[in-house]
Amino acid sequence: MSQPDNTRHVPDSLRTNPTIDERANHCFGCGPANPQGLHLVFTTDTSDPANITATCHFSLTRMHEGPPGYIHGGIVAALLDEAMSKLNRPLNVLAMTRHMEVDYLRPAPLHQPLVLVSRHLSRDGRKLYHQAEIQRPTGEVLARGKGLFIVLDEKLLAAAGLTQPEN
């Protein structure tokens, strides 16, 4: 019987110079190749450089239930994190979440159309400040997150064998 290789975190399919996008293909939030992922699809709006946003329309089922009939709180945080992370490419950076906080304002229902909207707030060197909300289509805000993302050093990424995504 084969044993898992605990020395690596990368599957065999990614051993040869994967792009960031290939790695993200199994992202729990947005990766199309993850059968258990959320498969979120975002559109970004950069028409106003002072107000860059990302938006996703979605609905979840009991797979992601917490309180009966409502989305699990950890999934709410994942949704907000994902929405904020989608602002990084329009800003032409690779960045990871360093800190985030969540306000759970109202329970977020399953089986209902909901909207994720994120907005870039400000930048201070490597530090990006974003926010995201889960809203009903009426605009009622159910949850709000604020996040600090740190821009990754692209030379270090290259040294780690990660290439930029194809444009």
Ligand X SMILES: CCCCCCCCCC(=O)SCCNC(=O)CCNC(=O)[C@H](O)C(C)(C)COP(=O)(O)OP(=O)(O)OC[C@H]1O[C@@H](n2cnc3c(N)ncnc32)[C@H](O)[C@@H]1OP(=O)(O)O
> Taking CB under 6 A as the criterion, which residues in 51-90 touch ligand X?
81, 85
Cβ–Cβ < 8 Å for 131, 81: no
Q: Give the binding range for ligand X (CB under 6 A) out of 5-13, 33-41, 52-60, 95-103.
A: 95-103
Q: Would you give the binding string for ligand X spanning residues 18-37, x where CB under 6 A is met?
A: --x-----------------
List 8, 15, 57, 98, residue binding ligand X (CB under 6 A) = 98
Taking residues 141 to 160 in sequence order and writing x for each that binds ligand X by CB under 6 A, - otherwise, the string is -------x-x----------
Q: Of the candidates 53, 97, 131, 135, which one interacts with ligand X according to CB under 6 A?
A: 97
Distance (Å, rounded) from C-alpha 53 to C-alpha 131? 10
Q: Which residue in 2, 10, 6 sits closest to 161, CA to CA?
A: 10
By the 8 A CB rule, do 115 and 54 touch?
Answer: no
Least distance between ligand X and beta carbon 129 (Å): 9
Quick one: 123 or 136, whose CB is closer to ligand X? 123
C-alpha distance from residue 107 to each of 38, 103, 140 (Å):
19, 11, 12
99 binds ligand X (CB under 6 A): yes
Burial class (CB in 10 A: 0-12, 13-18, 19+), 18: middle
- Please tell me whether residue 126 binds ligand X under the rule CB under 6 A: yes
Confirm or reject binding of residue 131 to ligand X (CB under 6 A). no
Q: Which two tokens stand for residue 14?
A: 């990614």
First to last CA, the chain: 42
Q: Which residues bind ligand X (CB under 6 A)?
A: 20, 81, 85, 94, 96-99, 126-127, 148, 150
